[in-house]
Amino acid sequence: MQTSLIKFSDYLSSTIMSLLVLAKGFTLTLSMIMPIGTQNSMLINQGIHQNHHKMTAALFVLYDALLISMGVLGGSILLSHNATLFNVLTWGGILFLSIYGLLSMRSAFVRSKNTADTVLKKKSAKIIFLTTLAVTFLNPHAYIDTVMVIGSVGGQYSDEVKVYFLIGCIIGSLTWFSCLAFGAAKLSKQLSRPKVKMTIDIIIALVMWLVAWSLFNTWVAR
């Protein structure tokens, strides 16, 4: 009887610990991806146009899972010590985000049928897929948030506990991107009004340029 109670107590303690680690992965991931950034900006835009927004959200969740897993398995050490990789990612990100911001700003002020806004609605799944890759993997901030910050926290746990941390991170990413995609699509009529859409495009452009500028400052400081 006493042995059974001890086993049950150990099982209960292990379960509670696993759930706490899962919750930590969930909340940490949410805190890192909720602030407006390149992925969120793109997903909001796709949701407003209802242009493969579900696919975009699913891809972002997949990318987060891959990057976080890489960080937990020790990828943060590789990134922090590889200057060449850092430079390539930084300048690729600066160039891409600057162009993306320029297109968003153009979309805000050009009203003809041939504007970037109309072109965006007609983008194929292939183009959107390639854009999600660029928005994610050409943005060093994505590596800092997922690989280095979240990954380093998860890397402190034992192999058995890491699984629960990763599950929590994936659930957090899935929850946020799903809510963002479906929320933007649900409010697409309101958000597609000319003045509202122009404001959103301007904000997206400013976010892209702000991230590009922060990347440049990070490169200079390094």
Q: What is the pLDDT of residue 132?
A: 93
Q: What is the pLDDT of residue 179?
A: 93
Q: What is the pLDDT of residue 78?
A: 60
pLDDT above 60 (res 31): yes
Q: What is the pLDDT of residue 14?
A: 75
Quote the DSSP letter at residue 155. Answer: T
pLDDT above 90 (res 75): no
Cα of 43 vs its chain's centroid, Å: 10
Which tokens hold the place of 77? 């050490």
Q: What is the pLDDT of residue 117?
A: 45
pLDDT above 90 (res 214): no
pTM of this prediction? 0.73
Q: What is the residue type of 82?
A: N
Q: Which of 71-85, 145-159, 162-176 has the lowest mean pLDDT?
A: 71-85
pLDDT above 80 (res 16): yes
pLDDT band at 103 (very low <50, low <70, confident <90, very high): confident
Q: What is the pLDDT of residue 28?
A: 87
Are residues 16 and 156 in contact, defined by beta-carbon separation less than 8 angstroms? no
Question: Of residues 200 and 56, which shows the higher confidence score?
Answer: 56
Question: Of residues 95 and 178, which shows the higher confidence score?
Answer: 178
Range of the structural domain that residue 121 is part of: 2-221
Query: How many domains does the chain contain in total?
Result: 1
Q: Which residues of 101-129 are buried (b: 16+ CB within 10 A; e: fewer)?
A: bebbbebbeeeeeeeebeebeebeeeebe
pLDDT above 60 (res 151): yes
Tell me the per-residue pLDDT of 104-127, one tens digit each, with 9 for 90 and over.
Answer: 788 778 754 444 444 445 578 899
Cα of 82 vs its chain's centroid, Å: 23
Tell me the per-residue pLDDT of 59-72, one tens digit each, with 9 for 90 and over.
Answer: 999 999 999 888 87
Q: What does the mean pLDDT of the chain come to?
A: 80
Q: What is the pLDDT of residue 112?
A: 42
Tell me the per-residue pLDDT of 128-145, one tens digit each, with 9 for 90 and over.
Answer: 999 999 888 888 778 877
Question: Of residues 212 and 186, which shows the higher confidence score?
Answer: 186
